[in-house]
Amino acid sequence: MAQVLEFKLPDLGEGLTEAEIVRWLVEVGDVVAIDQPVVEVETAKAMVEVPCPYGGVVTARFGEEGTELPVGAPLLTVAVGAPEGASGSAASPSSSSSSSGKGSGSGAESSGGSGNVLVGYGTGAPAARRRRIRPDRLDRAVAGAPVSGAPVVEAQVVEAPVAEVLVAEAPVSDGPVPVVSPLVRRLARQHDIDLRRLAGSGPDGLILRADVDRAIRTAEETATATARAAQAPARSQAKPSTPSAAVAAAPNGVAAAAGAERIPLRGVRGAVADKLSRSRTEIPDATCWVDADATELMAVRAAMNAATGPSAGPKVSVLALLARICTAALARFPELNATVDTEAREIVRLPGVHLGFAAQTERGLVVPVVRDAHTRNAESIGAEIARLTELARTGKLSPAQLTGGTFTLNNYGVFGVDGSTPIINHPEAAMLGVGRIMPKPWVHQGELAVRQVVQLSLTFDHRVCDGGTAGGFLRYVADCVEQPAVLLRTL
């Protein structure tokens, strides 16, 4: 008999705990092959196509497009054929439970699973430890309604067909209540929940803590709605409402104008919000800035790109030159290529420079990282920046390409602005900001002239260094911009 294998959202790495379904790549009833991508999800780091380690017929999908699922929540179920050589009769219950007890590794062997894995699941190795998921998040994911009447059970492998998940109240029964955990009983007793009225979502109708938590939330929401309904007539009599004074109270108590749009902070936007908030909370930052004459730098770039013959090569961008200047400056001022270990109360100076650069995309702000930038020349850095920028625009950056930076270069001049006080990309210690390069009056060799001027700003963590070090770094960068020959000392 066919077996139904439940595929749960795997751990996608880099400490990610949830992902949003962007697009389903299969429908219920489709036949999928081993390692075939079945869903495209968006994490806080990147867009990822998730392959299914089982081959068979899709019997259920969990969650519509736009639904956010925690790691470990069911994604879909796949019905696979009976193992080769099995008898035509149905497998016995004991053999089914035995198969379930072997974990994902044995299940994969019987279904011809692959050894091609993501973090947290696999079909050719013992099951990895799973992180705990908050019950409320798992409830929302599971209650997101499977597309078909496929089963949802705790075991990885079950015989088909099996009982459907019950989320509604069950008829009151005089028999024993299907609860095993004393914790679940105590939780229900503390909140006056009648367990006889609950339909368990566990195997054989077993009532789980998630079921009780759901019932508690439902009771609280009902009580809140009843209280608001009772207060509404009194408020309307005491103070007539007018269109101009209409205000809707938000759940957290923040007042908002009627008709205000609420946009969830999730995905890339949520990750950016969390990181910037943490940076502002934890890092005592300071900013210094300086104007620099970039005329000579622009002339050098033009000469590089105009070269022909054996000395010709790929075009070099201004950002690539500034990145190379940053790596030279960090070699002179390694205090800024560091991070702070708050628990150990130590400054950790990092041996290599992994240079991040801010890139604005349709999905929001991302910071791809050029690995080992201190070992690269301007041409190599430019090529890597171009490659990562293209991946960012198409949403194909992997989490590894968006993490591990030690210093960030932010070229906000592309937005047509001169200056900024950038927020440090936590847990780094500094960020260099670059404004637009534009013609301005400038005193050059004792005379007033029109020169290409740029504003440079450095935001730094005051814990890793004092203003003298930060000022020295910024001055060296400005000197290299004004006199690119200074870089010849380190080439």
What is the set of active-site residues?
462, 466
Helix (H, G, I), strand (E, B) or coil at 5: strand
Would you say 357 and 410 are in contact if contact means Cβ atoms under 8 Å apart? yes
CA distance 222 to 238: 25
Through-space distance between the first and last CA atoms of the chain, rounded to whole angstroms: 69
Helices 135-142, 209-238: crossing angle, 10 deg rounding: 90
CA distance 67 to 212: 23
Which residues, including other chains, have CB under 8 Å from residue 485's CB and lie 6 or more apart?
none
Question: Which long-range contacts does 375-378 make (Cβ < 8 Å, 24+ apart)?
Answer: 376/324, 376/327, 377/324, 377/491, 378/316, 378/320, 378/321, 378/323, 378/324
Token digits for 225? 């709605």
Q: Of 31, 53, 52, 50, give the one whose Cα is nearest residue 42.
A: 50
Query: Looking at 312-463, which runs of residues are DSSP E strands?
Result: 338-341, 346-349, 355-357, 359-361, 364-366, 369-370, 407-411, 430-434, 438-444, 447-461
Q: Of 489, 490, 413, give the one whose Cα is nearest residue 455.
A: 413
Q: How many residues make up the chain in this entry?
A: 491
Beta strand 407-411 with 355-357: parallel, antiparallel or unpaired? Answer: parallel
Residue 484's alpha-carbon distances to 318, 328, 378, 478, in angstroms, are 12, 12, 12, 10
Residue 107 Ramachandran class (φ > 0 left, ψ -120 to 50 alpha, else beta) = alpha
Q: Of 13, 16, 24, give the one whose Cα is nearest residue 67.
A: 24
Would you say 413 and 454 are in contact if contact means Cβ atoms under 8 Å apart? yes
CA dihedral defined by 168, 169, 173, 176, rounded to 10 degrees? 80
Helix (H, G, I), strand (E, B) or coil at 229: helix
Q: Of 84, 65, 67, 53, give the one whose Cα is nearest residue 25.
A: 65
Token digits for 319? 């950002």
Which residues, including other chains, have CB under 8 Å from residue 156's CB and lie 6 or more apart?
5, 6, 100, 103, 104, 107, 127
